[in-house]
Amino acid sequence: MEKEIGKLIIIRHPESEWNKLGLWTGKTEVHLTEYGFKMAREMGEAIRDLKIDMVFCSTQIRVRETLEEILKILNLAGKIPEEKSSVLNERDYGDYTGKNKWEIEKQVGEKNFQEIRRGWDCAIPNGETLKMVYDRAVPYFLKIILPHLLAGENVLIVAHGNSIRALMKYIEQVSDEKTGDIEMPFNTILIYTLDQNGHSENKEIREIK
């Protein structure tokens, strides 16, 4: 009898100081806002019914703060294995880092702005495309994370909008052309049941209001 595959739970860090200001953050280390800390605790409450066996997260402080709040709520701090990896870090926004998104939109126009934000292989000066994020995050998912799920463990990933979008593209088998439609909103929890290849068989969405 095949072992049942574990659940994959994915959470994006909530509001950071630069999110609140509308600035592209990327590799910059900024903290959660007071509201962000509150939403992290509420996301912890929202997954109380799920057993978590293993955690993977990025190395950036806003994600670490999110995870710490979640684990405190679940009384799991220091009680389950955690692995940090920079491959789950946010997309490098290069020359756009620290700039106001809405001012850039006025400069480049709505169509180009959406391509910069959501396009699959849209170059940013001295930064990364989503494809580049995919090329670092998905191999790690397949080699390091998926084996835990196949062993029957429930895995929590806490990461960033774009590293999560890259994982969603693989998990949900989204075409390059449709990648711009993938969204990972704040205060949203994804819960996947996967097949042996790490593709989605079922997806549950929990939204924190």
Retrieve residue 7's tokens.
Answer: 């659940």
- Please identify which residue in the block is written with the tokens 């994959």: 8
Identify the CA nearest to 116 among candidates 19, 26, 31, 185: 26
**CB within 8 Å of 119: residues ≥ 6 apart:** 129, 130, 179, 180
The answer to whether residue 160 is catalytic is no
Q: Which residue type, as a one-letter code, is found at position 39? A: M
Single out the catalytic residue among 13, 65, 148, 160. Answer: 13
Single out the catalytic residue among 90, 148, 153, 160. Answer: 90
The answer to whether 7 and 191 are in contact (CB under 8 A) is yes
The answer to whether residue 90 is catalytic is yes
172: DSSP letter: T
CA dist 67 and 141 (Å) reads 18
Alpha helices in the chain (DSSP H): 17-21, 34-46, 61-73, 101-108, 110-118, 130-140, 146-150, 161-171
Number of other CB atoms surrounding residue 11 within 10 Å: 28
Active site residues: 13, 90
